[in-house]
Amino acid sequence: MISWIELSRHPLKASDKVKLLRELGDPASVLEYLDKETQLPLFTPDHVYNPEEELTRVKSLGAELITYFDNDYPELLREIFDPPVLLYIKGDRTLLQNFSIGIVGTRKPTEYGVSATHYFVEALVTGGITITSGLAIGCDAVAHQTALMKSGKTIGVLGTGIDKIYPSSNRRIFQKMYESGLVISEFSLGTPSLPRNFPLRNRIISGISHGTLVIEAGDWSGSLITAYNSLNQGREVFAVPGNIFSGMSKGCHRLIQQGAKLITSPQDVFEEFEHLDIFKCNPVCHSKKEISSDARAILNILESGPAEFDDICTKTNFQPGYVLGLLTELEINNYLLKIDGSSYGKKE
């Protein structure tokens, strides 16, 4: 494992490391080749580095290492152009084999963005999908929190060492992720939050996901990098439309103009992957369950015909965010059909 740690620290590009691994068969041989054939320093000169101590610290943290050749290494991640040769992980490693959707968005979401994140994540985890995001503030944090609250599965990908809680405001989420989810990073322990790390992190978010859903993003949002990575990796890209007057929707609208799939309902995501076995027999997509009394009140409104979202809010006297949650409950339990735009009808 020491050779894997040394190779992961080497400044050679990830794509070249993987190419050499495939040719030479093991990290020790790659390191020997690099020592003879290149002038690159073995380690970055930021501080004295001891791989043996690194391995000891990993174990003391209750973390683990997964190498590029391990069976638990995510197959989807192995398919991308520049997969990391080593992953530091803490939590439930089996989640790396789950069907996952990346959820990304702005660090400063509007009320609409928060509600939309709740709406989609709640439905997706209920349908058996694992949520992957970047454990940042904003849409990332809301996505992880919602998944955990609904007893769903979620993976957080870091742009720091796995021992660094950044931002510190997400400490509680980190602890819950360690216990009930999974946190992963390609960066060695102690790696601080550096701007150059986050585009690298983003390629892993999209790399372990079957598709990436952008909830809300401005023109220069880092979540657009994740979306473009997903596209380049041959994965699906979904974008939620927003207010045309809101700067926080410009990024999503640009993605839609460039060919991302416009989605207004979790069912849009399920339908994109309905050919897969995980969804063919998924009871969430085909059965009806008992619903809450407030959700039943919305169904009563729809007895006379389809209704607009604003009309439903007015007639129930419920807050818009709460109505979104009720509509999600109805939709994932197969009671509701989204007809057009913001219009809803009762499914027979």
What is the band of 127 on the pLDDT scale with cuts at 50, 70, 90? Answer: confident
Residues 257, 128 within the same domain: yes
Residue that is last in its domain, among 55, 86, 117? 86
Residue that is last in its domain, among 33, 57, 86? 86
CA–CA gap between residue 249 and residue 216 (Å, rounded): 6
Residues 24, 76 within the same domain: yes
Residues 75, 100 within the same domain: no
Residues 100, 229 within the same domain: yes
Residues 17, 34 within the same domain: yes
Cβ 89 vs Cβ 77: under 8 Å: no
303-318 mean pLDDT: 92
Domain containing residue 234: CATH number: 3.40.50.450
Provide the 10 A C-beta neighbour count for residue 159: 26
In the chain, the N- to C-terminal Cα span, in Å, equals: 58
What is the band of 281 on the pLDDT scale with cuts at 50, 70, 90? Answer: very low
Residues 274, 299 within the same domain: no
| pLDDT tens track for 221-273 | 999 999 999 999 999 999 999 988 999 999 999 999 999 999 988 888 988 88
Domain containing residue 294: CATH number: 1.10.10.10
Domain range for residue 42? 2-86
pLDDT at 223 (0 to 100): 93
Residues 105, 245 within the same domain: yes
Residues 25, 80 within the same domain: yes
Residues 169, 22 within the same domain: no
pLDDT at 265 (0 to 100): 85
% of the chain at pLDDT higher than 70: 92
107-111 mean pLDDT: 93
The partner residues of 14 in beta bridges, in order of sequence, read none
321 to each of 111, 302, 309, 313, how far by Cα in Å? 8, 19, 11, 10
Least confidently predicted of 68-77, 119-128, 277-286? 277-286
Q: Please count the structural domains in the chain.
A: 3
Order the strands of the 86-91 sheet from edge to edge.
64-67, 86-91, 182-185, 154-157, 130-133, 100-104, 211-214, 236-239, 261-262
